[in-house]
Structures are given as C-alpha cells and as structure tokens.
C-alpha cells in the first residue's frame, strides 16, 4: 500500500509538471507574452499547435521507449523535456524560440501518461488500476493551480515563472528514480497494426480527436478571450485557478464511474465543456457566470481525459501503454487541429461564432460512444 501511495504521488507530480506547467500554463502566459513579443491570433494558434504536435510525436514513441527504457526511464525523459522546454521559453527572444521551447516542453506530456499507465499496470492490482490512473491524471489540475500564483506573484513575470517551473521539473527526477518501476520483462503483445484494427479502439480514437478539438478553445485561447471581453488580469488568473481547482475533481472519475458507469461520466463531463463554451459565447463583457462555467469546464476536461485513459488501457489490456498512447495521441491531434482552426475562425468570423461552432460539435459527441469495448 505504501509503495502504491508513493507511485501515485510521484505520478501525480509528474502529470502536474508535464501537463499543468509545461503544456497548459502557456495559455495563461499568452497575454503577457504577447505584450512583450508581438503575436497575432493566428500566430498564437500556430504556437499552441507546436506544443500539441510535439505531444503527438512523443505519445506515439512512448510505447516503444517504455518497452526499451522501462516506465522509469521514460518518466525521467519526460521530466527532462519539461525542464529543457520551460528553460528555453524563459530566455526566448522571438516567436521562433518560443516555438522551439513549446515543442520540447510538449514532448514531456506525451511521454508521461503512457509511462505512468505502464507503471500502474506493473505495480497496482487490477481492480484498483482505474482509480489509480484517474487519480494520477488529476495532477494536471494541480499544475494549472500552481501556475496561477507563481505567474501572478513571482518577480520577473512569465520568464521567471518558466525558470521556476523548469527547476521543479529537475527536482522531480529523484522521486521518479526512486518510486517508478524500471524495465521489466514484457509479455508478448499484439502488433500495433493489429491493435489499431480493433473496432472499439477505432471508435474511441475518433471520439478522442473531437474532444481534443473542442478542448483547444479553452486551453489555447481562454485567457485571450477573457482579456478581449474586458476581464481584468486578476480575474483571469482567478478563473484559471478555478478551472484548475475544479479539475482536481477528476480524481473522483474512478469512484464515480463505479457507481454510474464511465459512459455517463463521459457525458456529464462533456456537458461541462459545452456549458463553458456557451457561456463564453453568450457574454461580450465580464460576467459572474464565468466562474461557474470554468469550474464545470475545468472539471469536465480532466474527467474526460481520465475516462479516455481508462478506456484506452481497457481496450488494450495486454499493453495498456499502447492504448493510452493511441487515444492521447488522437486527443492531442485534435487539440493541434482545434488550435489552428479556432485561431483561423477567430480571425475570419469572430469569437462568438467560433465558440458556438465548437459547442455544437461537442453536442454531437454526447451520443457518440454507444459502446466503448
């Protein structure tokens, strides 16, 4: 039990760093970065896409890397990528260097989830694996929450915050070495090509892609949209903090699924994202409705990613890292496409139209996953 708790805490911290700090903190930093380095909405979308593209590449390579280096080695590579990318962002003088930093930092999250799913499959009893995986996945919210006070109060602004985040990534190497299992004999598994032919997994891949597209509106453009609506920097930080705090509820995905089923958790979580998009579209100025909207949206996103993680591991039970990698790849591919597409629609139409289109797309997904395995 003690070893499981240490594994869970270490995995939670790595997810907080690789997702909350190395990936999603960029959305909160974007308004400050834009004031220092000129970026158009289209350029901002392309920069966000760099992070998602790197994530896609890493999540595809993660199963092979995990097989060769073990969960521990892959997790440590994840932490090193987070540190390198964040430190590069801290000194970036131009959009090109920002893109390079986001690319390297984006690799971190792509390596972390599959390696931790493999670690859980090795060290945690089967009945408790879904709960452990969703608990670790909720670390995203802790990272998002931590980014808010650091960005708001640390002298030196976003650059010094990136330095601090990079230092945390380096500090995580010791517990990763101590508590994440190393390389172990791997049972024979199906080939990736054969796994991808599974109809349930193909359906889940399409679902994950669309969820990624829908979520990109908030994670890539949320603070910028709020700034456009006249929301103060202080309130934007509080809203981002609220979204992160609510995402901690994603740790309850496992216990809640045991009562009502993963499918119902999926639909409730998606409704939270729809509420967020509709509220943002419905108000052209600051509103008290923004806080409950980001709370249900933040909780919804983390729960959705937790559901996909469990579904992916269940769909490829003989090789959970592969199932998680495939679905998280599709999630990131959707976020990459969604970032670019939303940025284009933002310029061509307006924010309200883009948000409503995204909300309708999410609405269609409510009834997509009739069966998942």
What is the distance in angstroms between the CA of the first residue and the CA of the last residue of the chain? 30
Neighbours of 318 (CB within 10 A): 13
The pLDDT value recorded for residue 248 is 77
Please tell me the distance from the alpha carbon of residue 366 to that of residue 155, in angstroms, as a whole number. Answer: 44
Confidence label for 186 from pLDDT (cuts 50, 70 and 90): low
The pLDDT value recorded for residue 373 is 47
User: 240 vs 22, which has greater pLDDT?
Assistant: 22
The total of structural domains in the chain comes to 2
The answer on 70 and 158 residing in a single domain is yes
Residue with tokens 């990936």: 23
The pLDDT value recorded for residue 258 is 74
Does any domain span residue 85?
yes
Closest CA to 307 of 111, 130, 136, 118: 130
Q: Is pLDDT of 331 > 80?
A: yes
Q: Is pLDDT of 306 > 80?
A: yes
Q: What angle do CA 228, 234, 237 make, to 5 degrees?
A: 85
Does any domain span residue 188?
no
The answer on 84 and 27 residing in a single domain is yes
Kindly list the distances between the CA atom of residue 347 and the CA atoms of 294, 351, 362, in Å, as whole numbers in the listed order. Answer: 24, 8, 21
Query: Any idea what the CATH number is for the domain that residue 268 is in?
Result: 1.20.1250.20
On the CB side of 25, how many CA atoms lie within 13 Å of its CA? 39
Closest CA to 150 of 237, 31, 37: 237
Q: What is the pLDDT of residues 78-132, one digit of tens each?
A: 999 999 999 999 999 999 999 999 999 999 998 998 899 889 888 888 778 878 8
Q: What is the extent of the structural domain holding 252?
A: 193-372
Confidence label for 271 from pLDDT (cuts 50, 70 and 90): very high
The answer on 350 and 315 residing in a single domain is yes
The pLDDT value recorded for residue 1 is 57
The pLDDT value recorded for residue 195 is 66
Please tell me the distance from the alpha carbon of residue 19 to that of residue 13, in angstroms, as a whole number. Answer: 10
The pLDDT value recorded for residue 7 is 92
Least confident of 63-77, 123-137, 268-282, 348-362: 123-137
The pLDDT value recorded for residue 371 is 52
The answer on 163 and 20 residing in a single domain is yes
Using the 3D structure, point to which of 160, 183, 206 is the last residue of a domain: 183
Using the 3D structure, point to which of 164, 183, 202 is the last residue of a domain: 183
Q: Is pLDDT of 284 > 70?
A: yes
The answer on 122 and 83 residing in a single domain is yes
Three-state SS string across 283-317, please?
CCCCCCCHHHHHHHHHHHHHHHHHHHHHHHHHHCC
Q: Is pLDDT of 187 > 70?
A: no
Q: What percent of the chain has pLDDT over 90?
A: 27
The answer on 224 and 293 residing in a single domain is yes
Query: How deeply is 91 buried, as exposed, middle or buried, from its count of CB atoms within 10 A (0-12, 13-18, 19+)?
Result: exposed
**Do residues 162 and 90 lie in contact, with contact meaning Cβ atoms separated by under 8 Å?**
yes
Handedness of CA 315, 321, 324, 326 (dihedral sign): negative
255: tokens are 């216990």
Global pTM? 0.79
Handedness of CA 27, 28, 33, 39 (dihedral sign): positive
Please compute the mean of the pLDDT values over residues 2-11 and round it to a whole number: 86
141: tokens are 């919210």
The answer on 278 and 200 residing in a single domain is yes
């Amino acid at each position: 039990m003690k070893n499981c708790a240490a594994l869970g805490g270490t995995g939670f911290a790595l997810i907080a760093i690789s997702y909350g700090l190395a990936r999603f903190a960029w959305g909160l930093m974007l308004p400050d970065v834009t004031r220092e380095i000129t970026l158009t909405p289209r350029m901002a979308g392309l920069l966000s896409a760099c992070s998602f593209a790197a994530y896609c590449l890493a999540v595809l390579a993660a199963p092979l890397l995990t097989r060769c280096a073990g969960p521990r080695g892959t997790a440590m590579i994840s932490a090193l990528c987070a540190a390198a990318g964040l430190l590069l962002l801290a000194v970036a003088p131009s959009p090109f260097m920002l893109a390079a930093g986001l690319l390297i930092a984006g690799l971190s999250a792509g390596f972390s989830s599959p390696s931790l799913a493999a670690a859980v499959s090795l060290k945690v009893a089967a009945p408790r694996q879904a709960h452990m995986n969703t608990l670790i996945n909720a670390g995203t919210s802790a990272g998002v929450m931590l980014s808010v006070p650091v960005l708001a109060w640390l002298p030196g602004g976003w650059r010094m915050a990136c330095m601090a985040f990079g230092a945390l990534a380096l500090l995580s190497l010791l517990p990763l070495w101590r508590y994440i299992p190393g390389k172990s004999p791997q049972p024979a598994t199906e080939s990736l090509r054969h796994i991808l032919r599974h109809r349930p997994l193909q359906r889940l891949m399409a679902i994950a892609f669309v969820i990624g597209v829908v979520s990109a509106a908030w994670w890539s453009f949320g603070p910028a949209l709020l700034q456009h609506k006249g929301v103060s920097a202080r309130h934007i930080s509080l809203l981002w903090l609220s979204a992160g705090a609510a995402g901690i509820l994603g740790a309850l995905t496992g216990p809640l699924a045991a009562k009502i089923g993963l499918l119902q958790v999926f639909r409730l979580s998606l409704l939270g994202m729809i509420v967020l998009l509709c509220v943002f579209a419905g108000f052209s100025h600051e509103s008290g409705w923004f806080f409950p909207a980001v709370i249900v949206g933040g909780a919804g996103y983390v729960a959705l990613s937790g559901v996909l993680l469990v579904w992916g591991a269940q769909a490829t039970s003989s090789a959970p890292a592969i199932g998680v990698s495939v679905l998280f790849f599709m999630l990131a591919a959707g976020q990459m496409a969604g970032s670019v597409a939303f940025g284009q629609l933002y310029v061509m139409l307006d924010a309200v139209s883009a948000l409503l289109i995204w909300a309708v797309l999410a609405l269609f997904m409510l009834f997509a996953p009739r069966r998942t395995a």
